[in-house]
Amino acid sequence: MAENTREARTEAVRALEAEFGELISRMRRVLADNAQRVSPGMLPGAYKVFTTIVRRESVTLSALAESLMADKGQISRTVRELEELGLVRRTPDPDDGRSSLLSPTAEGLDRLAAARAPQESVLLDTLEAWSVEEIRDLARLLHALTAGETP
């Protein structure tokens, strides 16, 4: 079968879909494990909210809800839980007095680093035989796929 036929492309995309399914299953387990290490009983959804705040460094509740494509009320409840755990803090938004900025606390960053450490070493070990260029290529291609762009 020629490599550029519709059938070959369909077969390749189906194989990619299967691999993504496996990756998603594995990542769900990783996220659930990391959430438990950050705070026993933490749900993966709360972990996702927390790590998004960490990645954004400082974000409003509205922008966070939009980023996660989630209900603002649910995000607000989750953020309150993260605040009670000492992982997140609110500060007044200097650009909008009616709003607050959410950011991680030093304790939150420390707990997240400790929670991620076991999995990060597994990923580093798994990619040991890969060149830095191959790792960067994979990241670039995944970004293009996620963004719907041509690499």
Most confident option among 2-16, 18-32, 72-86, 91-105: 72-86
pLDDT > 90: what percent of the chain? 73
Q: SS3 of 101, please?
A: strand
Beta strand residue intervals within 10-93, DSSP E: 59-60, 88-93
Average pLDDT along the chain: 91
User: Where does the pLDDT of residue 105 fall: very low under 50, low under 70, confident under 90, or very high at 90 and above?
Assistant: very high
In a domain, 97, yes or no: yes
Q: What is the pTM of this model?
A: 0.76
**pLDDT (0 to 100) of residue 148:** 87
Looking at residue 123, its pLDDT comes to 81
Q: Report pLDDT digits (tens) over 108-120.
A: 999 999 999 888 8
Whether 2 shows a pLDDT value over 70: the answer reads no
Q: Does residue 67 lie within any of the structural domains?
A: yes
pLDDT for the residue 4: 79
With respect to residue 1, please indicate whether it lies within any of the assigned structural domains: no
Residue type, 95: D
> 88-93 and 96-104 as β-strands: parallel, antiparallel, unpaired?
antiparallel
pLDDT at position 146 over 90: no
73-91 average pLDDT score: 95
Domain membership of residue 58 (yes or no) is: yes
Whether the predicted pLDDT of 93 surpasses 90: no
- Domain span including residue 115: 6-147
Has residue 47 been placed in a domain? yes
**What mean pLDDT is predicted for residues 53-70?**
93
Number of structural domains, the chain? Answer: 1
Which CATH number is 84's domain given? 1.10.10.10
> What is the Cα–Cα distance from 26 to 73, expressed in whole angstroms?
29
3-state helix, strand, coil in the chain (%, to 5): 70, 10, 20
